[in-house]
Amino acid sequence: MSDPARASGHTSRAIVLAGGELPPTDAIRDLVAGGGAAGPPLVVAADSGLDHALALGLAVDVVVGDLDSASAAAIAAARADGVAFETHPVDKDATDLELALLAARDRGPTRITVVGGGGGRHDHLLANALVLAAADLADLDLDALVGTARITVVRARATLHGHPGDLCSLLPVGGVAHGVRTHGLRFRLHGEDLLPGSTRGVSNELIGAEATVTVDAGVILAVQPHALRED
């Protein structure tokens, strides 16, 4: 059953479960257990993300979407457990993931991690990545675990974690990323601009266990394609 305190916004972290391919189970377990004193995260399921949550044994607080892909068994189990539902028509102007992100935001967390969304349709994959940079989510720390990749939204500063030699691509979205600086990446940037459509930021590498990326203005998606590899 959902936790009323989490569902009403008394948590600093949220997990939004999308459909599609899930990252390695170890990564999800570490994410859920990583709250420490902050306690368990709010869990929001975007439509068929509900099936993933139930398969993983995660207690869901809110289900959001048009429910055209969640299984009838998962929906019935969630309703029996008293999980809240925010249903939307199939014909709508936003994806289930975007609606789930906004529902999570409205419950007050400062950090949201999207889990899933890989595989399947390429247009969905691109839309899922781009929605992370939406202006409506600008006040949040956002990242996503998609397959074996971690995508981190960089609006001012972000720290990336991994292993020496791990690939990392810096992709500007929504306009020019101005004044990009990096520390801990093989090819350093010293206040340069990254232009949308340019491949300047592709295939950089971590030289240690972590790196930092700062941006004076604009938004970058830092994509670590193999960050969730199973050692």
At residue 190's C-alpha, the angle toward residues 186 and 194, to 5°, is 90
Last residue of a domain, one of 101, 116, 147: 147
Q: Using an 8 Å Cβ cutoff, are 61 and 2 in contact?
A: yes
101 and 24 in a single domain? The answer is: yes
- Which of 211, 177, 172, 207 minimizes the C-alpha distance to 192? 177
Quick one: 126 and 162 in the same domain? no
**Full residue range of the structural domain in which residue 217 is found:** 157-224
Answer yes or no: is 137 within a domain.
yes
In angstroms, how far is CA 26 from the centroid of its own chain? 16
Assigned domain for 41 exists: yes
Can you give the pLDDT at residue 125?
A: 87
Residue 186 in domain: yes
Under 8 Å between Cβ of 24 and 43: no
The tens-digit pLDDT sequence of the chain (231 residues) is 455 545 554 579 999 999 888 888 888 888 887 655 567 899 999 999 999 999 888 899 999 999 999 999 999 999 999 999 999 998 888 999 999 999 999 999 999 999 998 777 888 889 889 999 999 999 999 999 998 999 999 999 999 999 999 999 999 999 999 999 999 999 999 999 999 999 999 999 999 999 999 999 999 999 999 998 755
Strand 13-17 relative to strand 42-46: parallel, antiparallel, unpaired?
parallel
Distance CA 140, CA 103 (A): 13
In a domain, 124, yes or no: yes
First to last CA, the chain: 34
Question: For the chain, what is the total number of helices (H) and then of strands (E)?
Answer: 6, 13
**Within a domain: residue 230?**
no
Q: Domain total for the chain?
A: 2
Closest CA to 230 of 21, 24, 9, 1: 24
Return the pLDDT at 57: 87
CATH number at residue 191: 2.60.120.320
pLDDT tens-digit profile of 80-117? Answer: 999 999 999 988 889 999 999 999 999 999 999 999 98
- If residue 128 lies in a helix (H) or strand (E), which one and from where to where? helix 122-131
Q: Do 51 and 133 belong together in one domain?
A: yes
Hey, which residues does 220 pair with through a beta bridge? 154, 172
Q: Is residue 176 part of a domain?
A: yes
119 CB-contact burial (10 Å; exposed 0-12 / middle 13-18 / buried 19+): middle
184 and 137, same structural domain? no
Measured over the CA atoms of residue 169, residue 174, residue 64 and residue 12, the dihedral's sign is: positive
State whether 120 and 179 are in the same domain.
no
In a domain, 231, yes or no: no
Given 97, 121, 147, the domain boundary residue is 147
Residue 161 within a domain? yes
Determine the Cα–Cα distance for residues 210 and 208; give it in Å rounded to an integer.
6
The answer to whether 168 and 133 have CB atoms below 8 angstroms apart is no
Q: Which of 217, 179, 221, 174 is nearest to 202 (CA)?
A: 221
The verdict on 80 and 132 lying in the same domain is yes
pLDDT digits (tens, 9 = 90+) for 172-197: 999 999 999 999 999 999 999 999 99
C-alpha–C-alpha distance, residues 62 and 104, integer Å: 9
Q: What is the CB neighbour count within 10 angstroms for residue 199?
A: 10
What pLDDT, on a 0 to 100 scale, did the predictor assign at position 117?
83
- In which element (H, E) is residue 43 found? strand 42-46
Q: What is the pTM of this model?
A: 0.90
Asked whether residue 120 falls in the same domain as residue 15, the answer is yes
Residues 61, 172: one domain?
Answer: no
In the prediction, which pLDDT does 10 show?
Answer: 54
